[in-house]
Amino acid sequence: MPDPSAIPVETGFTWTSFFTGITGAGMLGVLTLIIRQIGPWRKQRDEAEEKLREALSKRVSKLEKQLERQQARHEAERSLDRHKINNLTQCLDAVLMILDAAPEKTAEVVGKVKEMRETQIAAEAIEKAAIHAAEIVADAKETDDEHP
């Protein structure tokens, strides 16, 4: 068995130790660069999230306004439809009642009912125009709110 104290140990410069040192320094440099970039990356991510959050918030608020306008328009249309149905029912009831009471006055009754319907149709047109005008005003106001 050879004597352990007899193994020669070389000290000094070797190319292997030189390249090992260079590689270690390079890896340390890359690691340092990555660590330094964590802060800016985090800031960039936070800014992107904030922009996304703001954009989504604006979009949700715009959609909520549109939904409210749509609901108001539907309510107005339903009210108009109920009014129209009530008018038609009233005319039909008047015709039936007069025809029951005095069938000989049919021509006279038809003329009065036609006048009644013309008045009702004109009133319905005015109500429809009012609903349409309200929509136009709401659109203009929303456009003004978006582009101050």
* DSSP per-residue letters across 9-76: ---S--HHHHHHHHHHHHHHHHHHHHHHHHHHHHHHHHHHHHHHHHHHHHHHHHHHHHHHHHHHHHHH
* pLDDT confidence bin for 64, thresholds 50/70/90: very high
CA distance 53 to 61: 12
Find the range with the poorest average confidence among 36-40, 47-51, 140-144: 140-144
The residue ranges of every structural domain in the chain are 60-148
Is 84's pLDDT higher than 90?
Answer: no
Mean pLDDT of 25-53: 87
Sign, CA torsion 129/135/138/140: negative
Mean pLDDT of 136-147: 73
Q: Which of 47, 49, 48, 138 shows the shortest CA–CA distance to 146?
A: 138
Query: Is the full-model pTM beyond 0.85?
Result: no
Question: In whole numbers, what is the pLDDT of the chain averaged over residues?
Answer: 83
How far is CA 71 from its chain centroid? 15
CA distance 121 to 108: 20
Q: Both tokens of residue 102?
A: 């005095």
pLDDT for 47 equals 92
Residues in CB range of 120: below 8 A, 6 or more apart: 84, 87, 91
pLDDT for 135 equals 79
pLDDT for 79 equals 85
* pLDDT confidence bin for 141, thresholds 50/70/90: confident
pLDDT for 18 equals 82
More confident residue, 123 or 8: 123
